[in-house]
A = this chain, B = another copy of it.
Amino acid sequence: MKLILLGSGNLATHLSVALQQSGHEVLQVFSRTKASSSTLAHKLNVPYTVDIKSVRNDADVYIYAVSDDAISELVKHDFGQQAIHIHTAGSVGMEVFEAKKLNYGVLYPLQSFSINKTVDFKEIPIFIEGNNPEVERVLMDLAQTISQQVYKLDSEKRLQMHIAAVFVSNFVNYLYSIGKQIVNSADLPFAVLHPLIEETAQKIKTLSPYDAQTGPARRMDSAVIAKHLDMLKDNPSQETLYRHITQMIMDEYLHQS
C-alpha cells in the first residue's frame, strides 16, 4: 500500500520502518519539526515536507502518528479525501475523524518505543478499528504484514488497554525509579536490582500475577510492614504509596484466600 506518515517521533519511526520493510511504499513524511522530519525521511529514503499544504493526495493510507492534540488539528486539512485516515493513539476515539473523513480508523501498537532501541514488531500486539468493514479489512491486512498479534478492538476497550499499559509500563517504570533512589541512598548501584526486576517480569509468563505475588503484604507480615513504613516516614509520598498498595494486596488476598 501507499502510505504517508504524519509525524516523525518514536512511534512514527518504528512503525514506518517496519511497514516499509514489509513491502509497503512510504510516499512522504510530514512533520512540522524539520529536524525529526528529515531524519525519518532520510532513514526511509523518501521525501519529507514541513508544509501541511504540500502533503500529497495519492496515498492509500494516512497515518497520524502524532500527539493527541495534533490529531484533531491535522484532521481539518483535506488531503486524501478517498483514502483511509488512521491514528495510533490509545486514548483517542475513532470519532475524531468523523466530521471530516469518509474512511477512517485506528491502528494502536501496544509497546513503549524508544528512538534508538529497535523492537521486533512481530511480537507486538496491534489493535485496529475502522468505521466500516472495508476499512477494517484493509487495516487488518496492513497490521498483519508487520505483527502476528492483531486484534479488532473498539475505542472504549482500546482506552482500557491504554490504562492497563500505563499500570504495567509507565507506573512500573516509576517503581523502578523509586527502587533506584532507595538503593542509591544505601550507597549501592541500581544494577543490584536488575536480576530481581528481570525475574519478576519473566515469572508472570508462566505463573499468573495473582499466583506469583510474594512479599510482606501477601504474607500479611505486619511486623515487616511496620519497619518499612517507619523507614519511609521521611518521604511521605513514598510512604503513602507503600501503604496504599500494601492495603490493596492485603484486601485482595484476604477476600480470596
Query: Do the beta carbons of B182 and A228 come within 8 Å of each other?
Result: no
Could you say which of A17-25, A26-34, A159-167 contacts chain B?
A159-167
Copies of this protein in the complex: 2
A39 touches B (CB below 8 Å) = no
Collect the chain B residues with CB atoms within 8 Å of residue A194's CB: 204-205
Can you offer 20 A-B residue contacts whose CB atoms are under 8 A?
A91-B216, A110-B193, A111-B196, A114-B203, A151-B192, A157-B186, A160-B185, A161-B183, A162-B228, A163-B231, A163-B232, A164-B186, A169-B214, A169-B215, A170-B216, A171-B215, A174-B248, A197-B204, A237-B251, A241-B245
Query: Do the beta carbons of B193 and A165 come within 8 Å of each other?
Result: yes
CA distance A69 to B16 in the complex (A): 57
CA distance A124 to B193 in the complex (A): 9
Query: Do the beta carbons of A112 and B159 come within 8 Å of each other?
Result: no
A178 touches B (CB below 8 Å) = yes
Collect the chain B residues with CB atoms within 8 Å of residue A119's CB: 199
The 7 nearest A-B residue pairs measured at CB: A170-B215, A201-B201, A168-B179, A176-B209, A164-B182, A177-B209, A157-B186
- Give min CB distance, A75 to chain B, whole Å: 16
Q: Which of A175, A183, A214 has the most CB of B within 10 A?
A: A175
Give chain A's interface residues, CB within 8 Å of chain B: 67-69, 91, 110-112, 114, 117, 119, 123-125, 149, 151, 153, 157, 159-180, 182-183, 185-188, 190, 192-201, 203-210, 212-219, 221, 223-224, 227-228, 231-232, 237, 240-242, 244-245, 247-249, 251-252
Collect the chain B residues with CB atoms within 8 Å of residue A162's CB: 224, 228
